[in-house]
Copies of this chain bind each other. A is one copy, B any other.
Amino acid sequence: MISEKMYELGAKSSVIREIFEYGKKRKAEIGADNVYDYSLGNPSVPAPESVNEAIRELTLNMNSCDLHGYTSAVGDNGTRQAIADDLNKRFGTSFGMHNFYMTCGAAASLCITFRALAEKDDEIIIFAPYFPEYKVFISSQGATPVEVKCDADTLQIDLDRFEKAITKNTKAVVVNSPNNPSGVVLSEDTVKGMCEILKRKQAEYGKPIFIISDEPYRELVYDGVKVPFLTKYYDNTIVCYSYSKSLSLPGDRIGYILVPDEVADFELIYKAVCGAGRSLGYVCAPSMMQFVIRKCVGQTGDISVYKHNRDLLVNAFNEYGFKVAKPDGAFYLFMKSPEEDAVAFCEKAKKYELLLVPSDSFGFPGYVRLSYCVSTAMIEKSLPSFKALSEEYNLI
């Protein structure tokens, strides 16, 4: 009577969701302050005040029919030019507004890009650990996700495994750096190695293989770490961006797809992106938020809060004997489970009111993800629980 597949997608809660629901119940029982919920990747830093100021100013000074009216499907020209100018200044690129297609956030950017590219039998490579929705988005747009495990020590791309996974059906590879769930930033060496393999494989198969760079965490890096900007390393790079994390606007659904001129058959790809947006029901990206971005491009929320949170946790974990992947960016820590079964470890953690996400659904068992986009006070209060958990495992 209905699409079984859609029912399953709607009915099956994600693990993260289940933990979140458990947390809600537990908070009701023992008080919100006594539950240490590290499950959700929802920015805890407010949007910069300039965002709300821009919104108020627009509602006072811009014609309502323009502010709230349709923009063209590709997005407002001024907004797209402002984004191009900002990236050009920061990365020495030379994008124009014609390279941008405004979207309703990262999930829309990805779905539209997958849909634009996917032909029958296409495979799209994702690196584990990965954001679980990648598999949903890729399958739903008609391609097949192919998992390649990262190096277990560094969580950088395992280049040998990567090369072996590429076939004549490989249409694209999704790169997510800084990474959700690991917080790892791909090194320049990794990026260069990956691009070299891709160039060789493109030549071998006589067809383009695209990098789809999903980079909502691009600006969330600490201690001066540099995130290689992929369009500068590889021509066939399509960037999917969202302001959800950098401007703390996840609910407002605003982002873009960037198709550089250097991409093979730029015109074809850009038009296919437009067609895919249309076929998925995205008429235009939210107009008022587009005008806000035009005013606030290049800004971020107060990222120092995340760095402080990260340092608090990393220092404590070093002391308690927990091992985490090199935590250069995003607002996640990826901790090695002290026992093989991360689900069992998370159950034990619950006894100390610590809510962690086992890494199984990220395609990389044996770890847990902690989202440190939480209040610093919660982190401080939770440290004795981590210490007790460490003692249970005799880690120190």
How near does chain B come to A142, taking the closest CB pair, in angstroms?
8
Q: How far is the CA of A276 from the CA of B11 in the complex (A)?
A: 11
Task: Report B-chain residues with C-beta under 8 Å of the C-beta of A5.
Answer: 275, 279
Q: Which of B11, B56, B70, B116 contacts A6 (CB 8 A)?
A: B116
Q: Quick one: which of A1-42 are within 8 Å of B by CB? A: 1-11, 42
Query: Are the CB atoms of A286 and B248 closer together than 8 Å?
Result: no
Query: Are the CB atoms of B65 and A274 closer together than 8 Å?
Result: no
Task: Report B-chain residues with C-beta under 8 Å of the C-beta of A60.
Answer: 52, 56
Q: Quick one: which of A48-99 are within 8 Å of B by CB? A: 51-52, 55-56, 59-60, 63-65, 67-71
Query: Are the CB atoms of B117 and A70 closer together than 8 Å?
Result: no
Q: How large is the interface on A (under 10, 10 to 19, 20 to 34, 35 or more residues)?
A: 35 or more
Q: Is the interface of A mostly helix, strand, loop or mixed?
A: helix
Question: Which listed segment binds B: A264-272, A341-349, A377-385, A386-394?
Answer: A264-272
Q: How far is the CA of A282 from the CA of B283 in the complex (A)?
A: 13
A110 contacts the other chain (CB 8 A): yes
> A281-310 CB contact bits vs B (8 Å, 1 = yes)?
111111111000000000000000000000
A168 contacts the other chain (CB 8 A): no
Query: Are the CB atoms of B56 and A252 closer together than 8 Å?
Result: no
Residue of chain B at shortest CB distance from A49: B64
Q: How far is the CA of A265 from the CA of B3 in the complex (A)?
A: 13
Question: Which listed segment binds B: A100-108, A192-200, A318-326?
Answer: A100-108
Query: Are the CB atoms of B274 and A9 closer together than 8 Å?
Result: yes
If the complex has contacts A2-B269, A136-B278, A280-B140, are A286 and B10 also in contact, measured as CB distance less than 8 A? no
Task: Report B-chain residues with C-beta under 8 Å of the C-beta of A64.
Answer: 46-47, 51-52, 248
A111 contacts the other chain (CB 8 A): yes
Query: Are the CB atoms of B116 and A272 closer together than 8 Å?
Result: no
Knowing that A3-B116, A55-B59, A56-B56 touch, tell me 18 more A-B residue pairs with CB under 8 angstroms. Answer: A3-B117, A3-B119, A5-B279, A6-B272, A6-B279, A9-B276, A46-B63, A46-B65, A68-B252, A104-B281, A104-B282, A108-B282, A140-B279, A140-B280, A253-B253, A253-B284, A253-B287, A280-B280
